[in-house]
Structure 1
Amino acid sequence: MSNDGVSLNMRMAIPWFLWGIWKHRNGIKYAGTQGDLNALVTHALEEAEVWNKLMEAPSHSSSGRATVIRLDSRWSKPPLEMLKCNIHVSWLNDSHMCGGTWIVRNHQGDAVFHAREMFLPASNRIAAELRGFLWMLHSLYDLHLNNIEVWSDCNAAVEAIIDSPNWPRYHSYLDRIHRLLPQFGKVIFKVSSTKANGIAREIASSVTRDGREQSYLARGGHVWLQSRIDEEKRR
Protein backbone atom coordinates (compact mmCIF):
# COMPACT_ATOMS: atom_id res chain seq x y z
CA MET A 1 0.00 0.00 0.00
CA SER A 2 1.40 3.42 -0.91
CA ASN A 3 1.51 6.42 1.42
CA ASP A 4 -1.65 7.90 -0.04
CA GLY A 5 -3.57 4.72 0.81
CA VAL A 6 -3.95 3.51 -2.81
CA SER A 7 -2.05 0.42 -3.89
CA LEU A 8 -0.24 0.19 -7.21
CA ASN A 9 -2.62 -2.53 -8.40
CA MET A 10 -5.60 -0.37 -7.46
CA ARG A 11 -4.19 2.59 -9.41
CA MET A 12 -3.72 0.34 -12.45
CA ALA A 13 -7.31 -0.84 -12.11
CA ILE A 14 -8.90 2.59 -11.68
CA PRO A 15 -9.75 3.27 -15.38
CA TRP A 16 -11.48 -0.08 -15.78
CA PHE A 17 -12.98 0.27 -12.28
CA LEU A 18 -14.56 3.57 -13.29
CA TRP A 19 -15.79 2.02 -16.52
CA GLY A 20 -17.39 -0.77 -14.49
CA ILE A 21 -19.20 1.77 -12.31
CA TRP A 22 -20.43 3.64 -15.38
CA LYS A 23 -21.55 0.42 -17.06
CA HIS A 24 -23.66 -0.71 -14.13
CA ARG A 25 -24.76 2.60 -12.65
CA ASN A 26 -28.28 2.38 -14.05
CA GLY A 27 -28.88 -0.80 -12.11
CA ILE A 28 -28.59 1.06 -8.79
CA LYS A 29 -29.60 4.56 -9.85
CA TYR A 30 -32.71 4.57 -7.72
CA ALA A 31 -31.73 2.03 -5.09
CA GLY A 32 -29.13 4.01 -3.19
CA THR A 33 -28.39 1.40 -0.52
CA GLN A 34 -24.99 0.48 0.87
CA GLY A 35 -25.57 -3.12 -0.24
CA ASP A 36 -26.13 -2.01 -3.80
CA LEU A 37 -22.97 0.09 -3.69
CA ASN A 38 -20.93 -2.81 -2.33
CA ALA A 39 -22.23 -5.10 -5.07
CA LEU A 40 -21.35 -2.49 -7.67
CA VAL A 41 -17.81 -2.09 -6.35
CA THR A 42 -17.30 -5.86 -6.21
CA HIS A 43 -18.44 -6.31 -9.80
CA ALA A 44 -16.30 -3.42 -11.02
CA LEU A 45 -13.21 -4.85 -9.30
CA GLU A 46 -13.86 -8.21 -11.00
CA GLU A 47 -13.99 -6.43 -14.35
CA ALA A 48 -10.76 -4.61 -13.45
CA GLU A 49 -9.05 -7.93 -12.68
CA VAL A 50 -9.95 -9.25 -16.12
CA TRP A 51 -8.73 -6.04 -17.75
CA ASN A 52 -5.39 -6.14 -15.95
CA LYS A 53 -4.84 -9.77 -16.97
CA LEU A 54 -5.61 -8.89 -20.56
CA MET A 55 -2.96 -6.18 -20.40
CA GLU A 56 -0.34 -8.69 -19.26
CA ALA A 57 1.27 -10.14 -22.40
CA PRO A 58 4.49 -12.07 -21.73
CA SER A 59 6.29 -13.07 -24.90
CA HIS A 60 6.77 -16.72 -23.94
CA SER A 61 5.71 -19.10 -21.22
CA SER A 62 5.04 -22.80 -20.97
CA SER A 63 3.38 -25.29 -18.67
CA GLY A 64 2.83 -28.94 -19.51
CA ARG A 65 0.78 -29.19 -22.67
CA ALA A 66 0.30 -25.47 -23.21
CA THR A 67 2.68 -23.01 -24.81
CA VAL A 68 2.31 -19.35 -25.73
CA ILE A 69 4.23 -18.44 -28.87
CA ARG A 70 3.60 -15.43 -31.06
CA LEU A 71 4.70 -15.82 -34.66
CA ASP A 72 4.31 -13.67 -37.75
CA SER A 73 0.96 -12.59 -39.14
CA ARG A 74 0.82 -15.26 -41.86
CA TRP A 75 -0.74 -18.69 -41.43
CA SER A 76 1.86 -21.47 -41.67
CA LYS A 77 1.64 -25.25 -42.01
CA PRO A 78 2.12 -27.48 -38.98
CA PRO A 79 4.97 -30.01 -38.67
CA LEU A 80 4.61 -33.35 -40.44
CA GLU A 81 3.37 -35.25 -37.41
CA MET A 82 0.91 -32.58 -36.26
CA LEU A 83 -2.48 -31.18 -37.20
CA LYS A 84 -3.20 -27.47 -36.86
CA CYS A 85 -6.51 -26.25 -35.48
CA ASN A 86 -7.44 -22.57 -35.68
CA ILE A 87 -10.28 -21.54 -33.40
CA HIS A 88 -12.21 -18.33 -32.85
CA VAL A 89 -15.33 -17.35 -30.92
CA SER A 90 -17.04 -14.16 -32.05
CA TRP A 91 -18.21 -12.25 -28.97
CA LEU A 92 -20.06 -8.92 -29.16
CA ASN A 93 -21.29 -8.34 -25.61
CA ASP A 94 -22.81 -10.17 -22.66
CA SER A 95 -26.32 -10.21 -24.10
CA HIS A 96 -25.69 -11.46 -27.66
CA MET A 97 -25.32 -15.02 -28.87
CA CYS A 98 -21.74 -16.04 -29.71
CA GLY A 99 -20.47 -17.71 -32.87
CA GLY A 100 -17.69 -20.29 -32.72
CA THR A 101 -15.58 -22.02 -35.35
CA TRP A 102 -12.63 -24.35 -35.53
CA ILE A 103 -10.86 -25.58 -38.65
CA VAL A 104 -8.25 -28.36 -38.73
CA ARG A 105 -5.58 -28.56 -41.45
CA ASN A 106 -2.79 -31.06 -42.03
CA HIS A 107 0.92 -30.56 -42.75
CA GLN A 108 0.16 -29.98 -46.44
CA GLY A 109 -2.27 -27.20 -45.64
CA ASP A 110 -5.37 -29.19 -46.62
CA ALA A 111 -8.50 -28.63 -44.53
CA VAL A 112 -9.50 -31.89 -42.85
CA PHE A 113 -12.59 -30.82 -40.88
CA HIS A 114 -14.25 -27.61 -39.81
CA ALA A 115 -17.25 -26.80 -37.63
CA ARG A 116 -19.45 -23.89 -36.67
CA GLU A 117 -21.53 -23.47 -33.52
CA MET A 118 -23.76 -20.89 -31.89
CA PHE A 119 -23.36 -20.40 -28.13
CA LEU A 120 -25.48 -18.72 -25.49
CA PRO A 121 -24.29 -15.25 -24.35
CA ALA A 122 -21.09 -15.17 -22.30
CA SER A 123 -20.02 -12.61 -19.71
CA ASN A 124 -16.88 -11.65 -21.64
CA ARG A 125 -14.58 -12.66 -24.50
CA ILE A 126 -12.43 -14.94 -22.34
CA ALA A 127 -15.38 -16.99 -21.13
CA ALA A 128 -16.68 -17.26 -24.68
CA GLU A 129 -13.33 -18.45 -26.03
CA LEU A 130 -12.88 -21.01 -23.24
CA ARG A 131 -16.32 -22.38 -23.99
CA GLY A 132 -15.20 -22.67 -27.59
CA PHE A 133 -12.05 -24.55 -26.53
CA LEU A 134 -14.16 -27.05 -24.60
CA TRP A 135 -16.50 -27.60 -27.56
CA MET A 136 -13.53 -27.97 -29.92
CA LEU A 137 -11.73 -30.52 -27.73
CA HIS A 138 -14.86 -32.65 -27.41
CA SER A 139 -15.24 -32.53 -31.21
CA LEU A 140 -11.63 -33.46 -31.94
CA TYR A 141 -11.79 -36.32 -29.45
CA ASP A 142 -14.99 -37.66 -31.04
CA LEU A 143 -13.29 -37.49 -34.46
CA HIS A 144 -10.25 -39.40 -33.09
CA LEU A 145 -7.89 -36.60 -34.11
CA ASN A 146 -4.61 -36.45 -32.23
CA ASN A 147 -1.41 -34.42 -31.92
CA ILE A 148 -2.96 -30.98 -32.37
CA GLU A 149 -1.60 -27.45 -32.42
CA VAL A 150 -4.47 -25.22 -31.28
CA TRP A 151 -4.16 -21.58 -32.36
CA SER A 152 -6.34 -18.83 -30.89
CA ASP A 153 -6.10 -15.06 -31.18
CA CYS A 154 -7.44 -14.65 -27.62
CA ASN A 155 -4.21 -14.34 -25.66
CA ALA A 156 -5.94 -14.23 -22.27
CA ALA A 157 -7.81 -17.52 -22.86
CA VAL A 158 -4.55 -19.31 -23.72
CA GLU A 159 -2.85 -17.77 -20.68
CA ALA A 160 -5.74 -18.99 -18.51
CA ILE A 161 -5.25 -22.57 -19.73
CA ILE A 162 -1.51 -22.37 -19.05
CA ASP A 163 -1.78 -20.74 -15.64
CA SER A 164 -5.21 -21.90 -14.45
CA PRO A 165 -4.72 -21.24 -10.69
CA ASN A 166 -4.37 -17.53 -11.41
CA TRP A 167 -7.66 -17.43 -13.32
CA PRO A 168 -10.13 -18.70 -10.67
CA ARG A 169 -13.05 -16.88 -12.26
CA TYR A 170 -12.99 -19.43 -15.10
CA HIS A 171 -12.25 -22.57 -13.07
CA SER A 172 -15.38 -24.36 -14.31
CA TYR A 173 -14.25 -24.21 -17.95
CA LEU A 174 -10.58 -24.70 -17.14
CA ASP A 175 -11.14 -27.79 -15.00
CA ARG A 176 -13.13 -29.44 -17.79
CA ILE A 177 -10.52 -28.49 -20.38
CA HIS A 178 -7.68 -29.98 -18.35
CA ARG A 179 -9.65 -33.18 -17.73
CA LEU A 180 -9.92 -33.63 -21.50
CA LEU A 181 -6.27 -33.03 -22.36
CA PRO A 182 -4.95 -36.44 -21.19
CA GLN A 183 -7.25 -38.06 -23.77
CA PHE A 184 -4.94 -36.74 -26.51
CA GLY A 185 -1.38 -37.70 -27.34
CA LYS A 186 -0.36 -34.04 -27.59
CA VAL A 187 -2.20 -30.73 -27.55
CA ILE A 188 -0.19 -27.52 -27.82
CA PHE A 189 -1.95 -24.18 -27.36
CA LYS A 190 -0.50 -21.19 -29.22
CA VAL A 191 -1.43 -17.56 -29.70
CA SER A 192 -2.15 -16.48 -33.26
CA SER A 193 -2.32 -13.03 -34.76
CA THR A 194 -5.81 -12.02 -35.86
CA LYS A 195 -4.68 -12.01 -39.51
CA ALA A 196 -3.28 -15.55 -39.37
CA ASN A 197 -6.53 -16.63 -37.73
CA GLY A 198 -8.60 -14.87 -40.38
CA ILE A 199 -10.47 -17.86 -41.82
CA ALA A 200 -11.71 -19.01 -38.41
CA ARG A 201 -12.67 -15.44 -37.54
CA GLU A 202 -14.63 -15.07 -40.78
CA ILE A 203 -16.69 -18.22 -40.24
CA ALA A 204 -17.36 -17.44 -36.56
CA SER A 205 -18.40 -13.88 -37.42
CA SER A 206 -21.00 -15.20 -39.86
CA VAL A 207 -23.07 -16.12 -36.79
CA THR A 208 -22.92 -12.74 -35.04
CA ARG A 209 -22.67 -10.56 -38.14
CA ASP A 210 -24.88 -12.34 -40.65
CA GLY A 211 -27.22 -14.23 -38.34
CA ARG A 212 -26.22 -17.68 -39.64
CA GLU A 213 -27.43 -19.78 -36.73
CA GLN A 214 -27.07 -23.27 -38.21
CA SER A 215 -24.48 -25.40 -36.43
CA TYR A 216 -22.62 -28.05 -38.39
CA LEU A 217 -19.55 -30.26 -38.72
CA ALA A 218 -18.14 -30.84 -42.21
CA ARG A 219 -15.19 -32.45 -43.95
CA GLY A 220 -12.75 -30.11 -45.64
CA GLY A 221 -13.00 -26.35 -45.54
CA HIS A 222 -15.80 -23.91 -46.09
CA VAL A 223 -16.70 -23.60 -49.78
CA TRP A 224 -16.87 -19.81 -49.88
CA LEU A 225 -13.45 -19.54 -48.20
CA GLN A 226 -11.72 -22.24 -50.24
CA SER A 227 -9.72 -19.75 -52.30
CA ARG A 228 -8.22 -18.30 -49.10
CA ILE A 229 -7.47 -21.79 -47.79
CA ASP A 230 -5.72 -22.63 -51.06
CA GLU A 231 -3.77 -19.37 -50.93
CA GLU A 232 -2.50 -20.12 -47.43
CA LYS A 233 -1.70 -23.68 -48.49
CA ARG A 234 0.59 -22.44 -51.27
CA ARG A 235 2.74 -20.44 -48.89
Structure 2
Amino acid sequence: MSLVELMSAYMRMMSSDSIPERQRRSIPWILWAIWKNRNLILYADTQESLIFHIQQAIEEARLWNEVNLRQEPVDNLGLNGEKKRWEAPLFGVVKCNLHSNWRNDKLHCSVGYIIRDHQGNILHHARDAITSSPNRLTSELRCLIWTLRSMKDLGYTEIMIGSDFKDVGEAVKPPNDWPLFRIFSLRDTRVMLDVSISGF
Protein backbone atom coordinates (compact mmCIF):
# COMPACT_ATOMS: atom_id res chain seq x y z
CA MET A 1 0.00 0.00 0.00
CA SER A 2 1.16 3.51 -0.71
CA LEU A 3 1.47 6.13 1.99
CA VAL A 4 -1.73 7.79 0.77
CA GLU A 5 -3.58 4.47 0.92
CA LEU A 6 -2.28 3.79 4.41
CA MET A 7 -3.34 7.24 5.63
CA SER A 8 -6.79 6.75 4.07
CA ALA A 9 -7.11 3.39 5.82
CA TYR A 10 -6.24 4.95 9.17
CA MET A 11 -8.73 7.76 8.62
CA ARG A 12 -11.44 5.17 7.91
CA MET A 13 -10.49 3.36 11.11
CA MET A 14 -11.27 6.54 13.06
CA SER A 15 -14.97 6.18 12.16
CA SER A 16 -15.18 2.42 12.61
CA ASP A 17 -17.46 1.32 15.44
CA SER A 18 -15.58 -1.98 15.69
CA ILE A 19 -12.63 -0.16 17.32
CA PRO A 20 -12.99 1.25 20.86
CA GLU A 21 -13.49 5.02 20.83
CA ARG A 22 -10.40 5.68 22.97
CA GLN A 23 -8.21 3.90 20.40
CA ARG A 24 -9.88 5.62 17.44
CA ARG A 25 -9.29 9.05 18.94
CA SER A 26 -5.63 8.20 19.51
CA ILE A 27 -4.83 7.38 15.87
CA PRO A 28 -3.62 10.88 14.80
CA TRP A 29 -1.40 11.13 17.89
CA ILE A 30 0.02 7.65 17.37
CA LEU A 31 0.87 8.52 13.75
CA TRP A 32 2.52 11.72 14.96
CA ALA A 33 4.49 9.71 17.58
CA ILE A 34 5.75 7.35 14.87
CA TRP A 35 6.81 10.34 12.74
CA LYS A 36 8.69 11.94 15.66
CA ASN A 37 10.42 8.65 16.45
CA ARG A 38 11.42 8.32 12.78
CA ASN A 39 12.98 11.79 12.88
CA LEU A 40 14.89 10.93 16.06
CA ILE A 41 16.36 7.89 14.33
CA LEU A 42 17.26 9.75 11.11
CA TYR A 43 18.45 13.09 12.45
CA ALA A 44 19.49 12.54 16.07
CA ASP A 45 20.78 8.97 15.76
CA THR A 46 18.73 7.99 18.80
CA GLN A 47 15.52 6.17 19.51
CA GLU A 48 13.13 6.33 22.44
CA SER A 49 10.89 3.50 23.56
CA LEU A 50 7.97 3.09 21.16
CA ILE A 51 5.81 2.01 24.11
CA PHE A 52 6.56 5.35 25.79
CA HIS A 53 5.58 7.21 22.60
CA ILE A 54 2.33 5.26 22.29
CA GLN A 55 1.39 5.84 25.94
CA GLN A 56 2.17 9.53 25.58
CA ALA A 57 0.11 9.70 22.36
CA ILE A 58 -2.90 8.08 24.04
CA GLU A 59 -2.68 10.49 26.98
CA GLU A 60 -2.36 13.52 24.68
CA ALA A 61 -5.38 12.35 22.70
CA ARG A 62 -7.38 11.96 25.90
CA LEU A 63 -6.48 15.46 27.11
CA TRP A 64 -7.15 17.05 23.72
CA ASN A 65 -10.60 15.47 23.49
CA GLU A 66 -11.39 16.38 27.08
CA VAL A 67 -10.53 20.02 26.42
CA ASN A 68 -11.96 20.44 22.92
CA LEU A 69 -15.10 18.30 23.02
CA ARG A 70 -16.44 19.71 26.25
CA GLN A 71 -19.41 21.86 25.27
CA GLU A 72 -20.13 23.29 28.70
CA PRO A 73 -18.36 23.26 32.02
CA VAL A 74 -19.27 20.05 33.79
CA ASP A 75 -20.16 19.29 37.36
CA ASN A 76 -17.18 18.48 39.49
CA LEU A 77 -16.20 18.10 43.12
CA GLY A 78 -15.09 21.25 44.87
CA LEU A 79 -12.31 21.61 47.41
CA ASN A 80 -14.49 20.27 50.22
CA GLY A 81 -15.95 17.40 48.21
CA GLU A 82 -19.23 19.15 47.41
CA LYS A 83 -20.60 18.84 43.89
CA LYS A 84 -20.35 22.10 42.01
CA ARG A 85 -20.01 23.51 38.52
CA TRP A 86 -17.05 25.34 37.11
CA GLU A 87 -17.22 28.89 38.41
CA ALA A 88 -16.47 31.72 36.01
CA PRO A 89 -14.02 34.45 37.04
CA LEU A 90 -14.93 38.13 37.03
CA PHE A 91 -14.79 40.08 33.78
CA GLY A 92 -11.15 40.88 32.93
CA VAL A 93 -9.84 37.99 35.01
CA VAL A 94 -8.86 34.59 33.61
CA LYS A 95 -9.33 31.31 35.43
CA CYS A 96 -6.69 28.62 35.20
CA ASN A 97 -7.52 25.10 36.33
CA LEU A 98 -4.48 22.93 36.92
CA HIS A 99 -3.82 19.33 37.85
CA SER A 100 -0.89 17.01 38.49
CA ASN A 101 -1.31 13.29 37.88
CA TRP A 102 0.77 11.88 40.76
CA ARG A 103 0.82 8.07 41.14
CA ASN A 104 3.79 7.26 43.35
CA ASP A 105 7.23 8.60 44.31
CA LYS A 106 9.06 6.72 41.55
CA LEU A 107 7.11 7.64 38.39
CA HIS A 108 7.19 10.89 36.46
CA CYS A 109 4.10 13.05 36.88
CA SER A 110 2.09 14.57 34.07
CA VAL A 111 0.94 18.14 34.69
CA GLY A 112 -1.50 20.28 32.81
CA TYR A 113 -3.54 23.47 32.91
CA ILE A 114 -6.40 25.07 31.01
CA ILE A 115 -7.09 28.81 30.93
CA ARG A 116 -10.60 30.18 30.34
CA ASP A 117 -12.10 33.67 30.26
CA HIS A 118 -15.23 34.82 32.13
CA GLN A 119 -17.45 33.26 29.43
CA GLY A 120 -15.76 29.87 29.67
CA ASN A 121 -13.91 30.25 26.35
CA ILE A 122 -10.63 28.32 26.28
CA LEU A 123 -7.68 30.69 25.81
CA HIS A 124 -4.69 28.41 26.39
CA HIS A 125 -3.94 24.91 27.59
CA ALA A 126 -0.75 22.93 28.03
CA ARG A 127 0.59 19.71 29.44
CA ASP A 128 4.05 18.51 30.36
CA ALA A 129 5.87 15.89 32.41
CA ILE A 130 7.93 16.54 35.53
CA THR A 131 10.33 14.28 37.39
CA SER A 132 9.07 12.16 40.27
CA SER A 133 7.85 13.81 43.47
CA PRO A 134 7.76 12.26 46.96
CA ASN A 135 4.02 12.94 47.39
CA ARG A 136 1.00 14.45 45.68
CA LEU A 137 1.24 17.82 47.42
CA THR A 138 4.81 18.36 46.22
CA SER A 139 3.76 17.38 42.72
CA GLU A 140 0.78 19.78 42.79
CA LEU A 141 2.95 22.65 44.07
CA ARG A 142 5.50 22.04 41.31
CA CYS A 143 2.60 22.02 38.85
CA LEU A 144 1.38 25.34 40.29
CA ILE A 145 4.81 26.93 39.88
CA TRP A 146 5.12 25.65 36.30
CA THR A 147 1.63 27.01 35.56
CA LEU A 148 2.34 30.43 37.08
CA ARG A 149 5.57 30.76 35.12
CA SER A 150 3.72 29.84 31.93
CA MET A 151 0.98 32.38 32.64
CA LYS A 152 3.55 35.05 33.38
CA ASP A 153 5.24 34.28 30.03
CA LEU A 154 1.84 34.50 28.32
CA GLY A 155 1.34 37.98 29.81
CA TYR A 156 -1.57 37.29 32.18
CA THR A 157 -1.76 39.61 35.19
CA GLU A 158 -5.24 38.99 36.67
CA ILE A 159 -5.47 35.30 37.47
CA MET A 160 -7.69 32.96 39.44
CA ILE A 161 -6.23 29.49 39.99
CA GLY A 162 -8.51 26.48 40.38
CA SER A 163 -7.27 23.23 41.86
CA ASP A 164 -9.00 20.01 42.87
CA PHE A 165 -6.50 19.51 45.70
CA LYS A 166 -7.37 21.52 48.80
CA ASP A 167 -3.88 21.46 50.34
CA VAL A 168 -2.45 23.50 47.43
CA GLY A 169 -4.46 26.54 48.50
CA GLU A 170 -3.66 25.92 52.14
CA ALA A 171 0.08 25.73 51.43
CA VAL A 172 0.09 28.92 49.35
CA LYS A 173 -2.15 31.17 51.46
CA PRO A 174 -0.47 30.67 54.90
CA PRO A 175 3.06 29.52 53.92
CA ASN A 176 4.30 29.75 57.53
CA ASP A 177 2.08 26.78 58.40
CA TRP A 178 3.80 24.69 55.69
CA PRO A 179 7.56 25.18 56.33
CA LEU A 180 8.59 22.09 54.35
CA PHE A 181 7.15 23.63 51.18
CA ARG A 182 8.33 27.20 51.75
CA ILE A 183 11.07 26.81 49.13
CA PHE A 184 8.39 26.33 46.46
CA SER A 185 6.29 29.36 47.39
CA LEU A 186 9.12 31.80 48.10
CA ARG A 187 10.54 31.29 44.64
CA ASP A 188 7.44 32.81 43.06
CA THR A 189 6.05 35.02 45.82
CA ARG A 190 5.88 38.10 43.57
CA VAL A 191 3.74 36.21 41.06
CA MET A 192 1.55 34.49 43.63
CA LEU A 193 0.47 37.76 45.23
CA ASP A 194 -1.86 38.39 42.29
CA VAL A 195 -3.37 34.91 42.36
CA SER A 196 -6.44 33.76 44.23
CA ILE A 197 -6.81 30.03 44.87
CA SER A 198 -10.23 28.48 44.48
CA GLY A 199 -11.94 25.24 43.60
CA PHE A 200 -13.28 24.50 40.17
Q: TM tier, shorter chain?
A: 0.5 to 0.7
- Alignment match, 1:191: 199
Deviation at 1:107, TM superposition (A): 1.1
1:175-203 per-residue CA deviation (whole Å, 9 max, x = no partner) reads 11313335xxx3211133xxxxxxxxxxx
1:176 matches 2:187:
yes
1:73-112 per-residue CA deviation (whole Å, 9 max, x = no partner) reads 2113222121110000010010010010010000111100
TM-score by length of 1: 0.49
Deviation at 1:69, TM superposition (A): 7.3
Deviation at 1:72, TM superposition (A): 4.5
- Contact preservation (8 Å) 1:164, 1:174: yes
Following TM superposition, the consecutive aligned residue runs of length 4 or more in structure 1 with deviations greater than 3 angstroms are 68-72
For 1:191 and 1:159, locate their aligned partners in 2 and report how far apart those are by CA, in whole Å. Answer: 12
- Alignment match, 1:84: 95
1:101 matches 2:112:
yes
1:115 matches 2:126:
yes
Gaps of at least 5 residues in structure 2 are: 1-77
1:33-182 aligned at under 5 Å gives the runs 72-182=83-193
- Contact preservation (8 Å) 1:105, 1:112: yes
Gaps of at least 5 residues in structure 1 are: 1-67, 193-235
Deviation at 1:148, TM superposition (A): 0.9
For 1:135 and 1:172, locate their aligned partners in 2 and report how far apart those are by CA, in whole Å. Answer: 14
- Contact preservation (8 Å) 1:158, 1:191: no
CA-atom RMSD in angstroms: 1.9
2:198 partner amino acid: K
For 1:86 and 1:129, locate their aligned partners in 2 and report how far apart those are by CA, in whole Å. Answer: 12
Percentage identity across paired residues of the two chains:
32
For 2:190 and 2:85, locate their aligned partners in 1 and report how far apart those are by CA, in whole Å. Answer: 32
What secondary structure does 1:94 align onto?
coil
TM-score by length of 2: 0.57
For 1:76 and 1:170, locate their aligned partners in 2 and report how far apart those are by CA, in whole Å. Answer: 28
For 2:117 and 2:83, locate their aligned partners in 1 and report how far apart those are by CA, in whole Å. Answer: 19
Deviation at 1:120, TM superposition (A): 0.2
